[in-house]
Amino acid sequence: MKKELLMGTALVSTLGAASVAEAVTATMSGNHQVGMEFDSPTGGTDTNSQNNDTNFTVSLSETTDGGMTISSSFKLMDENTKTDYDAGFTLAFTDGSKLDVISAGNAAGSHAVSVPSSAGAEGVTTTSTNAASTGLDFMTGSTALGVEYHTASDFLADGLKMSFSASTDNGAAATSTYKIDSHYAIGATYVTDLGDSAVTIGAGYTSSDGSSTGTLASNDAGGVHVGVSAVTGDLTVAVGFADGDFITGDSSASEVAGEAVKAGVKYVSGDLTFNVGVANGTAKDGVFGTPGTTEDSKDVTSASISYAVASGVTAILGYTDVDSADEGTNDTTDGSAWYIGANMAF
């Protein structure tokens, strides 16, 4: 009996040591943000509420004997107790290029320039049928069965990096709800110095095909975006433009032709960071097969002050104002919102 116990202990120890030696490298990161939001709708009663945002990400990676790194990740989020398993695998090669496989995303969206706006978690609700979007990547759909290839830096020219993506039908049967069957996209980011400023130019183009058992959309999702960001010391200035078509994707799906323009400024002074941003989105939405003729719109102005209280701890005061119209009529559910809170990141 004693020998059996010793053998069992040795076996468990050996397996344990082997599993540790062969395990991939896991790292953890995330944030926990808590604050209060104060809403003032144009045509309603002022309200306030607690606003939480908690995210926990586990990143996994390992390097083969040939030097290729294989990585993936998953995220736990507090929105509707959701677990995000959308990440596939990334293969990083020794020449600096990468290949994303499974849920790879859209190459155009990967190169959308980041435009400063409020760092707060405040939001202003508008009429649900208002289809205007103020993002630069509103047309960048894809399916899970896709790949995206990222070139190494200095591809074809110093400072240039590009991505190419494509996805295919996920195999699900077509229903009355529109679904994307395939897409292809290209994106590029070019970084250069202009005097004392570091200038980044990002652009992308995407096109999709979709299906439905009912009337088909006149235009599937697709379009272009371009943006420029300049960093001079502690000052960042950025502007972006997007134009394209997209499908709302809800139970009352409609085809939408939209445009978006964004501009923003960020300035860092010691432990303080100041953000100011403006955005305008317009859209014409109609039922499938009948493009819209009357315009929806959103004009967004936002600003924030962030203070680094300690390493990883940031206090935030944010403000956002939205002026919107649905089918050419002013939206009484727009308005403004304040946010005060703190974020702890690790």
**Quick one: how many helices (H) and strands (E) in the chain?**
2, 18
Report yes or no: 306 and 272 within 8 Å, Cβ to Cβ.
Answer: yes
Burial of 131 (0-12, 13-18, 19+ CB in 10 A): buried
pLDDT per residue as tens, the chain (346 positions) = 443 343 344 334 433 444 444 688 999 999 999 999 999 999 888 999 998 888 899 999 999 999 999 999 988 766 555 555 567 899 999 999 999 999 899 999 999 999 999 999 998 888 888 889 999 999 998 998 999 999 999 999 999 999 999 999 877 777 777 888 999 999 999 999 998 999 999 999 999 998 877 777 888 889 999 999 999 999 999 999 999 999 886 545 688 999 999 999 999 999 999 999 999 999 998 888 888 889 999 999 999 999 999 999 999 999 999 999 998 888 888 899 999 999 999 9
List the domains of the chain with CATH numbers: 36-345 (2.40.160.10)
Q: Where are the alpha helices (DSSP H) in the chain?
A: 2-22, 107-110
Burial of 230 (0-12, 13-18, 19+ CB in 10 A): middle
Supply the pLDDT for residue 291.
Answer: 84
**pLDDT tens per residue across span 76-108:** 766 555 555 567 899 999 999 999 999 899 999
User: Which of helix, strand or coil describes residue 19?
Assistant: helix
C-beta atoms surrounding 38 within 10 Å: 15
Supply the pLDDT for residue 22.
Answer: 61
Amino acid at 158: D
- Dihedral sign for Cα atoms in the order 306, 309, 310, 312: negative
Supply the pLDDT for residue 80.
Answer: 52
Q: Which of 163, 108, 156 is nearest to 136 (CA)?
A: 108
Residue 253 CB-half CA count within 13 A? 24
CA distances from 86 to 73, 76, 143 (A): 9, 11, 11
Report yes or no: 194 and 159 within 8 Å, Cβ to Cβ.
Answer: no
**pLDDT tens per residue across span 280-328:** 999 998 888 888 889 999 999 999 999 999 999 999 999 999 999 998 8
Q: What percent helix, strand, coil does the chain show, rounded to 5?
A: 10, 55, 35
Given the structure tokens 């395939």, which residue do they identify?
182
Amino acid at 334: D
The pair phi, psi for residue 102, each rounded to 5°, is 70, 120
Q: How far is CA 108 from the centre of its chain?
A: 12
Q: How far is CA 4 from the centre of its chain?
A: 56
**Count, residues in the chain:** 346
Amino acid at 337: A
The pair phi, psi for residue 66, each rounded to 5°, is -85, 0
The pair phi, psi for residue 331, each rounded to 5°, is -95, 120
pTM: 0.84
User: Which of helix, strand or coil describes residue 126?
Assistant: coil
